[in-house]
């Protein structure tokens, strides 16, 4: 029997004030408007009764929203990251935060900050952190997911690997959400790779586009595709 497609509600669900406050207080780069759209997608997808997964944890800003939605749905949020930072977060780059560097090893380690973020938000019981490289974790995964949120590395290599590794696990009626989709070529480093992945998903025939919010794209699995 095919998995039923959840029906969107006319009034999008919003996170409670404590979830929103924790989201706004957390380190990260997702604007509030896109975060609210992600939460709405996660709540809808959670009605399938399957886990919600994100690729690209960083310090847990968006994880808070997925965890809040997972708590509402009675499912689990999964988040995948090696916690050494993506390309643009390394020393010397625009998005580098010196506070995320391990003082002993001299390399980025966002895992302690992420754990503090979840603890402060009271959401540790609703999240499973998968610490490792996304393609390696995906190669071991064999269960359907209600939602896959791709928000990892912004090179073609990493964005493509995240898509190829995780999009096949989106259940029928589930959602594929892609962040930092910028069609303008001037945004080559920050958003062209996610944009190309988004175009590939549409061209596959497996996904149908839903309304976008700024750089956040939401696609529903409606077929097997190619």
Q: Return the SS3 of 117.
A: helix
Residue-wise DSSP of 27-38:
SS---HHHHHHH
The token pair at 105 is: 């090893």
H helix or E strand, kind and range, residue 206: none
User: Cβ–Cβ contacts within 10 Å for residue 85, how many?
Assistant: 22
3 state DSSP class of 78? strand
The CA distance from 57 to 27, in Å, is 11
Look up residue 45 and give its two tokens. 């997808």
> Running DSSP on this structure, what letter comes out for residue 3?
P
Distance of CA 144 to the CA centre of its chain: 16
Active site residues: 154
Q: Which two tokens stand for residue 178?
A: 């892609």
């Amino acid at each position: 029997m095919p998995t039923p497609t959840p029906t969107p509600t006319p009034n999008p669900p919003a996170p409670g004030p404590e979830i929103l406050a924790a989201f706004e207080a957390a380190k990260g780069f997702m604007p509030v408007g896109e975060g609210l759209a992600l939460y709405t997608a996660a709540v809808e997808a959670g009605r399938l009764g399957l886990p919600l997964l994100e690729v690209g944890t960083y310090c847990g800003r968006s994880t808070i929203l997925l965890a809040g939605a997972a708590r509402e749905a009675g499912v689990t949020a999964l988040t995948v990251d090696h916690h050494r930072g993506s390309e643009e977060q390394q020393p010397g780059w625009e998005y580098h935060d010196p506070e995320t560097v391990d003082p002993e090893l001299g390399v980025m380690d966002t895992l302690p900050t992420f754990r503090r973020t979840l603890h402060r938000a009271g959401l540790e019981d609703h999240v499973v952190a998968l610490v490792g490289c996304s393609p390696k974790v995906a190669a071991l995964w064999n269960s359907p997911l209600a939602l896959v949120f791709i928000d990892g590395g912004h090179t073609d290599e990493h964005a493509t690997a995240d898509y190829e590794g995780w999009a096949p696990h989106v259940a029928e009626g589930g959602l594929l959400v892609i962040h930092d989709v910028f069609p303008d070529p001037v945004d080559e480093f920050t958003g062209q790779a996610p944009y190309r992945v988004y175009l590939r998903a549409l061209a596959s025939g497996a996904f149908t586009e839903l309304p976008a919010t700024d750089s956040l794209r939401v696609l529903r699995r409606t077929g097997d595709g190619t």
